[in-house]
Amino acid sequence: MEKQKNAVGRRKEAVTRVFLSKGSGNITINGKDYKVYFPLVYLQNQVEAPLKTIEGADKFDVVVNATGGGVKGQAEATKLGISRALLEVSADYRPALKAAGLLKRDPRAVERKKPGRKKARKSFQFSKR
C-alpha cells in the first residue's frame, strides 16, 4: 500500500469519508479519538468490527470525516466506509468481510410524511360524531 485509501460510508442521513493508511491502529473521527466521539461501547464495537474481522486492528490508521445523521447512523456509516477502504487495500479481505455482513449498505431510512396525516402513517384522531 503506497498511500492512503479512501472510501465513503452511508447510513440513514449520515455520510462518512474514511481515509485508511498503514499505521498502528489509531482511529480518529472529526479530529477526536473514536472512544471519545462514540462514548457508548456498542458504537465503538461497530467502528472496530471491520478491522477485528480481518485481524488488522493494529496495522492501519483510520481518519474519518463524519457529517449528518445521529451517532448510531455515523457509527454504522463508519463501519461500511472502513470495510470498503479495506477492500481497496486488498481483495483478499473480501470473503471475511462479506461473511460478517460488513459490505451491505443498510437501505432503511425514515419514511416521508404524507399529507392529511400526523406523521408518515399516524393519523389524526378519528371522531365519528
Residue whose cell numbers read 469519508? 17
User: Cα–Cα distance between 48 and 44 in angstroms, integer?
Assistant: 6
List per-residue pLDDT tens for the chain, 129 residues long.
Answer: 558 899 999 999 999 999 999 999 899 999 999 999 999 999 999 999 999 999 888 899 999 999 999 999 999 999 999 999 999 998 899 999 999 999 999 999 999 999 999 999 999 999 998
For residue 56, the model assigns a pLDDT of 83
Query: Tell me: the pLDDT tens digits for 71-104?
Result: 999 999 999 999 999 999 988 999 999 999 999 9
Q: Is the full-model pTM beyond 0.75?
A: yes
Q: Which is nearest to 74 in space by CA: 7, 25, 5, 12?
A: 12
The parent domain of residue 66 ranges over 5-99
For residue 113, the model assigns a pLDDT of 96
Q: What is the CATH number of the domain that holds 27?
A: 3.30.230.10
User: Cα–Cα distance between 60 and 70 in angstroms, integer?
Assistant: 26
* SS3 of residue 91 by DSSP: helix
Does residue 79 sit within a domain?
yes
How many Cβ atoms from other residues are within 10 Å of residue 100's Cβ?
Answer: 14
Asked if 52 and 92 touch (Cβ cutoff 8 Å), the reply is: no
Does residue 119 sit within a domain?
no
For residue 68, the model assigns a pLDDT of 95
Does residue 46 sit within a domain?
yes
* Cβ-count burial 101-122 (b if 16+ within 10 Å, e if not): ebbeeeeeeeeeeeeeeeeeee
Does residue 73 sit within a domain?
yes
Asked if 27 and 42 touch (Cβ cutoff 8 Å), the reply is: no
